[in-house]
Amino acid sequence: MTTLLSRNFRYAILHPVRTSRMARIMRRWADAQPQVCEYCGKLVRRSKRQVHHCLPLWAVPEAAENPENFSLVHGGHCHQAAHLGNYAEGYIENWGEVCDVIRRKWR
Ligand SMILES: [Zn+2]
Ligand SMILES: [Zn+2]
């Protein structure tokens, strides 16, 4: 599975202190959420849990630590879908809307 560092390599290298602070904020936020994947609507185990930035760090670095920009997803398939298979360049602008449709279909 990918790591926060590998998914946000450029940001992590440029801003190591902010990255570790962000990781802490994301972990605390995730602990307080229902453990359900935003994308597929199924339960997420802690070991499979990842926090997705709806607006990616490379596009909107100011939103790196903003919980309104967080989305809880499964690592692997669901998180990859959020990035159109490419963590470095892809993201879905209408993420919330896409999640609603996908969850309805899979339920
Ligand atoms: Zn999922
Ligand atoms: Zn993501």
Q: 49: CA distance to ligand 1 center in Å?
A: 9
Average pLDDT, stretch 71-82? 96
Q: 61: CA distance to ligand 2 center in Å?
A: 13
Note the ligand closest to the C-alpha atom of 52: 2
Average pLDDT, stretch 63-76? 96
Rounded percentage of the chain residues whose pLDDT exceeds 90: 86
What is the pLDDT at residue 62?
93
Q: At 1, is the pLDDT very low, low, confident or very high (cuts 50, 70, 90)?
A: confident
**Cα separation of 45 and 5, whole Å?**
20
Contact yes or no for 103/41 (Cβ under 8 A) = yes
Domain that holds residue 96: 4-106
Note the ligand closest to the C-alpha atom of 80: 2
**Cα separation of 48 and 74, whole Å?**
6
Average pLDDT, stretch 50-77? 94
Domain count, the chain: 1
Mean pLDDT (the chain, rounded): 93
Note the ligand closest to the C-alpha atom of 74: 1
Contact yes or no for 37/78 (Cβ under 8 A) = yes
